[in-house]
A and B are shown apart, each in its own frame.
Chain A
Amino acid sequence: MAFPTTSTILDNFNRADGYLTSPWALGHSYLGSNLMLISTNQLRGSGSYIICYWNSSTYGANVEGYVTVVVNTTISNDGPYLCARLQQPGTGTLDGYCVAIENSGHSWKILRIDNGVTTQLGATVDPSSASGDKAGIEIIGSTITAYRYNGTSWSSVASRSDSTYSGTGYLGLYGGSDDNAYRLDDFGGGTVIADTGKPKPAKLIRYQLPVQYLRI
């Protein structure tokens, strides 16, 4: 199935500068209380270290999310993250999955969140993504896949399997503040639209019977 199956931009951040407000909400705070910051119609770190989540709806169980990484972060281990299947947000026991896009696009990681602690699943991958590329996350069953859009097409960066968390959840973003030069835009996603597998309409095939079978 091609990624993504949806095209819904949930937030393009085209409004006055300031901290994110409803329907964004605090998913998990590592330091501080301010959600991420809108600056010139794009999103950046706010000085806090918080996973923000889109509180308008839950999605899934099969879910996809995407965001434009307008400017890559240059540092290695402080996000940003694009997150999905987030569960128990705002309780101190946040669970879910994220794709981290770090180190100037040279370090992508798939993470599992347990009580706010993140565990990297498998190897760090280097897709050499450039500023301006989009990042995507898709969770189908127990398969978590990171995608990259390079300006022309989407391609899979890495896939990991993890069955710890299933069911519906929220989409979200994490933005650390060790590097406030990064910028995100056009956050979107939704429940994966399944291929219905409906049979294709039958083709009408015309046969020309041999003459000997024609009755006149």
Chain B
Amino acid sequence: MATSWFICPYKRTPNTRVPQRYCAMDDFTPQILADGGDWSESEVLGGYALVKVRASDITLTLIAGTAGFQRIPNSLRLTDTLGSLTNGQLNAINNQLLAMGYTQSEITAALGNNFKSRTLGQVLRFAASRRLKPRYDTISDAIVLDGPVQTCKLVDDVDSEVQD
């Protein structure tokens, strides 16, 4: 088995009167558990989650091939630098941070212009800087993430909950 970090969205739980959302990684819980693996998440800005997964290579590849899921390449650990990633892979991470709702100014101020010298931990801890409190909009039947800032679960706690 191997471990890998992913960025994935939250999904709306179907067929429930209560407005409910879940980390999309739960769709793969049966396969992950069948592998003897595990996963843990930190909800971050924009309705995304940083997820560490321990599973078989087949399952990790399956997850990575699913729309909306971004796998951090090379099974990097938090202490590894991103120096082994291609410019395309680094841009993809930058774009994911923008999609979360961080501005390029914030990203550059925290991580610099080039992520290659940064560790995965530094990037993920930045991604877990904040999230916004959900509410339900009855007119649009949507869960809206625009409330007060709330703290994210520590990336290091997620890391320790899923042992390599």
Binding site for B on A (CB under 8 A): 30-31, 49, 75-79, 109, 111, 114-120, 122-124, 161-164, 174, 176, 178
Contacts and interface: CB of A to CB of B under 8 A. Distances in A.
Given A115-B135, A117-B136, A162-B153, A30 B26 contact: no
B92 to A, nearest CB: 26
Q: How large is the interface on B (under 10, 10 to 19, 20 to 34, 35 or more residues)?
A: 20 to 34
A59 B78 CA distance: 39
A164 B150 contact: yes
Contact of A161 (B22, B29, B147, B157): B157
A32 B134 CA distance: 22
B19 A117 contact: yes
Contact of A122 (B15, B16, B40, B136): B40
Given A78-B17, A161-B157, A119 B136 contact: no
Residue among A75, A76, A116, A123 with the most chain B CB within 10 A? Answer: A123
Residue among B15, B18, B135 with the most chain A CB within 10 A? Answer: B18
B22 A31 contact: no
A164 B151 contact: yes
A120 B19 contact: no
A30 B135 contact: no
B19 A161 contact: no
Given A116-B19, A117-B20, A178-B17, 12 more contacts: A114-B150, A115-B133, A119-B10, A119-B21, A119-B134, A120-B13, A120-B20, A120-B26, A122-B23, A161-B153, A164-B151, A176-B17
Interface in B131-153: 133-136, 143, 147, 150-151, 153
Nearest to A125: B29
A114 B147 contact: yes
Given A115-B134, A117-B134, A176 B23 contact: no
Given A119-B43, A120-B26, A122-B23, A114 B133 contact: yes
B151 A120 contact: no
A163 B23 contact: no
B34 to A, nearest CB: 12
Contacts, number: 85
Contacts of A116: 18-19, 135-136
B150 A176 contact: no
Contacts of A174: 18
B41 interface: yes
A173 B36 CA distance: 33
Contact of A176 (B10, B18, B33, B43): B18
Contact of A30 (B10, B18, B21, B161): B18
B39 interface: yes
Contact of A120 (B23, B136, B150): B23
Residue among A115, A116, A122, A163 with the most chain B CB within 10 A? Answer: A122
B88 interface: no
B40 A119 contact: no
A117 B18 CA distance: 7
11 contacts: A31-B17, A49-B17, A78-B16, A114-B147, A118-B18, A119-B21, A120-B26, A162-B153, A163-B153, A176-B16, A176-B18
Contacts of B25: 123
A161 B160 CA distance: 12
B21 A118 contact: yes
